[in-house]
Amino acid sequence: MAAPPTIKGITQNYGGSGTLFGTAVSRTTSETTGYTISTGVTLSFEAEDIFKIVNVHASTTISRELTKTHTVEQTIQECRDFQGDYTYDYVIFETVTYDNYYYEVIAHPIKSYIGQKIAISIPNKPVVYKWTVDYFNSHNGNNPDIGNETFNHTVGEVWTYPTADDVSKLEAMYKNKGFWKTDGTMTVGEGLGVNSIELDLEKVETTETSTTYGVEFEAGFSIFGVGMSVSYGLSSTYVYSVSVGKTTKYQGVIGDIAARDYEKYSYSVGLFVYNLYREKDHMAYQVLNYWVEDYHGPTEINSPVADIIFYNPTIADTVVKISAATGVDVTTAFIGLSVGSIILIGIASLLIFKIIRRHRGTRKSYKKKKSHKKK
């Protein structure tokens, strides 16, 4: 999920901005809202040559035996509600752990097969996480990062988001795999309110193919990084698949721009969603992003404290309100807030010092009087 297009260093309602998906938009829960993750039992082989001898009959036999032992053939996790703020792009991902059972071929007419390993992997329930893209990339180990193939913008700089031409090119590439966009754009308003743009799959053309995406088993691919060279599914051609509900809604909320900055920095946004396939990385996922039109303002940040304000929501909210109320720019408002805070801290420190000093003086006076009485 991309962060909503906003502009650092101006008087804009950042706190009201965000990106929403699923029940966070509709506020209702149903089987067709959100998305469903599914994965199944997998067979893995040490060498591809032994993979060829496990035919359809053998697969059916293994599946039947697993059913007898009440093994879950398919695991499903339903996801409903996700919301991102204005400061970061987010990635929603699932992890699946498997119970692995290893077998060794001890007898076979082809001598080279003897001693080779076969693994049956039974999935546990997927666990879903929502992390910022930066955090995901720094904590995903040797797995592929989310990079420029997905998002190529800078948060807080609307002029770096995709253009209408960029979206047209993506639509041509992914239309048959799943691509949707809003009918037009929404112009960001003036003031301190918010503006909302929504994409509802129920109101656009969808197919089962376009609303389901995932990674398919193929030659040379294994769910195990070491020891096994090829895997395939017993109940599905997918390693995993994600089905998006046909009434799923996506929403972008963009904060207004105050009057002092509006004419210079106004812009319009559209919302689009598509299924991105990265074949070389064996990855497939849905991308929720924005495109920007009608922006004719500066393409650089002039405020030296823009990042301090922007990435601290509490400070940003206060500074924006001061700026909107007084008509000064956010840098001046921030400096005023900082100076005011320093003065208040100084006054508070002085008062505390006087109270402590007075308290100590009272204790000394009391001790002297008490000592005099003893004499």
Inside any domain, residue 121: yes
136-156 per-position pLDDT tens digit: 999 988 888 999 999 999 999
Whether residues 360 and 250 fall in one domain: no
In this predicted structure, the answer to whether residue 255 has a pLDDT above a threshold of 90 is yes
Q: Tally the domains of the chain.
A: 2
Please give the residue that has the higher pLDDT: either 226 or 371.
Answer: 371
Q: Look at residue 219 and tell me whether its pLDDT is greater than 60.
A: no
- Judgement on whether residues 188 and 283 belong to the same structural domain of the protein: yes
pLDDT at residue 170 greater than cutoff 90: yes
Instruction: Give the model's pLDDT for residue 249.
Output: 80
**Domain-embedded: residue 3:** no
Query: Do residues 325 and 225 both lie within one domain?
Result: no
Domain that holds residue 107: 14-297
Q: Please indicate, yes or no, whether residues 282 and 364 belong to a single structural domain of this protein.
A: no
Q: Residue 70: is its pLDDT beyond 50? A: no
> How many residues are recorded in the chain?
375
Listed in sequence order, the residues at least 6 apart from 353 whose beta carbon sits closer than 8 Å to its beta carbon are none
Domain boundary among 263, 278, 297: 297
Q: Does 8 fall in a domain? A: no
Domain check: are 318 and 291 in the same one?
A: no
| Chain segment 281-327, per-residue pLDDT in tens | 777 888 999 999 999 999 988 888 899 999 999 999 999 999 998 98
User: How would residue 362 be classed by pLDDT, with cut points 50, 70 and 90?
Assistant: low
Q: Which of 274, 297, 320 is the last residue of a domain?
A: 297
| Together in a domain, 293 and 370 | no
The domain boundary residue, chosen from 241, 271, 297? 297
Q: pTM for the full model? A: 0.72
Res. 363 pLDDT band, cuts 50 70 90: low
306 and 224 co-located in one domain: no
Strand partners of residue 42 = 121, 233
State residue 47's pLDDT score.
55
Please check whether residues 222 and 334 belong to one and the same domain.
no
Q: Decide if pLDDT at 168 tops 60.
A: yes
In a domain, 201, yes or no: yes
* Shared-domain flag, residues 204 and 179: yes
Q: Is residue 236 part of a domain?
A: yes
Q: Are residues 107 and 122 in the same domain?
A: yes
In the chain, pLDDT over 90 holds for what percent of residues? 34
Q: Round the average pLDDT of the chain to a whole number and report it.
A: 75
How many CB atoms sit inside 10 A of residue 373's CB?
7
Tell me what pLDDT residue 285 has.
85
pLDDT of residue 345: 61
Whether residues 310 and 249 share a domain: the answer is: no
Residue 7 in any domain: the answer is no
Task: Answer yes or no: do 146 and 93 share one domain.
Answer: yes
Q: What percent of the chain has pLDDT over 70?
A: 62
